């Protein structure tokens, strides 16, 4: 288990091994992708993100 509670978009992109623009596109095209706003930036809860990815694998 990771010590982090949430990823930035850049960290989520690195975890999926995709580019930052691809991660933004995934966020835009998948309203079921877990996320929340932290000021002007999105954060993605780590555990929920892993579950979301595993459902699509």
Does 1 reside within a domain? no
What pLDDT, on the 0 to 100 scale, is given for residue 2? 58
CB contact set of 15 (below 8 Å; sequence gap of 6+): 7, 49
Task: Please report whether residue 31 resides in a domain.
Answer: yes
Q: Is the dihedral of CA 10, 25, 43, 48 positive or negative?
A: negative
* 14 part of a folded domain: yes
> What's the confidence (pLDDT) of residue 38?
84
Helices 46-56 + 9-16 axis angle, to 10: 40
Provide the whole-model pTM.
0.87
Return per-residue pLDDT of the chain as tens, 57 residues.
458 899 999 999 999 999 999 999 999 999 999 999 989 999 999 999 999 999 998
Give the per-residue pLDDT at 3: 81
Range of the domain at 39: 6-56
The distance from CA 56 to its chain's CA centroid, rounded to whole angstroms, is: 13
């Amino acid at each position: 288990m990771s010590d982090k509670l949430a990823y930035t978009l850049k960290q989520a992109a690195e975890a999926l091994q995709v580019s930052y623009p691809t991660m933004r596109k995934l966020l835009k095209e998948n309203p079921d992708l877990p996320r929340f706003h932290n000021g002007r930036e999105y954060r993605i809860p780590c555990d929920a993100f892993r579950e979301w990815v595993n459902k699509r694998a």
